[in-house]
Amino acid sequence: HPGSDRSWRGYARTLFTAVAAQARDAGVTDVGQLYDLLVVSDREELKLLVGGTPAQPFFDEHNARMLDSIRSVTSSAVAALQHVAHQRAEPLSVRHWIRDGRGVLFIPYRAGQIAALRASISAWMRLAIFETMSTPDSARPLWFVADELDALGP
């Protein structure tokens, strides 16, 4: 079924959106806590958190296996948050760097991190390219050099 992967990613997105919004409303600002809610917390804790959201039906008893699958897809998609949670450097805005940055922007990663960071690296590159395309023609010239691009996958 060609569309089934897209459907599961959609369910995972619904769960992520509900958990992130509810966590934000509860005052959670730490990415590590968000990661734990999505990946580590038990079913009952999440059920209480997402009550009244579009993700609530996933927690109905007859959807237990479906929820396990959704959480599996979600866990894979948010794996990069585990690395971000350990970041201690100044936060980076790719859009801000494109508009005002100087020097070179490196997006390094180790081979063992590629599976977890693949989606994030692709998103950062997409943000950078689209932000560059939306700047006025008189803006400073900008070059994109991407090595091992095939490691990011299709």
85-140 tens-digit pLDDT: 677 777 778 888 888 877 788 888 887 888 778 888 888 888 988 988 888 765 66
Residue 58's pLDDT is: 97
Please check whether residues 70 and 101 belong to one and the same domain.
no
Domain extent for 12: 4-84
Tell me: pLDDT of 2 over 60. no
Please check whether residues 11 and 68 belong to one and the same domain.
yes
Closest CA to 123 of 86, 70, 73, 84: 84
Residue 48's pLDDT is: 95
d(CA 59, CA 47): 6
Mean residue pLDDT of the chain comes to 86
| Domain count within the chain | 2
Which residue type does 141 have? P
Q: How far is C-alpha 84 from the chain's CA centre?
A: 10
Contact 59, 50 (CB under 8 A): yes
Q: Is residue 110 part of a domain?
A: yes
Please check whether residues 9 and 59 belong to one and the same domain.
yes
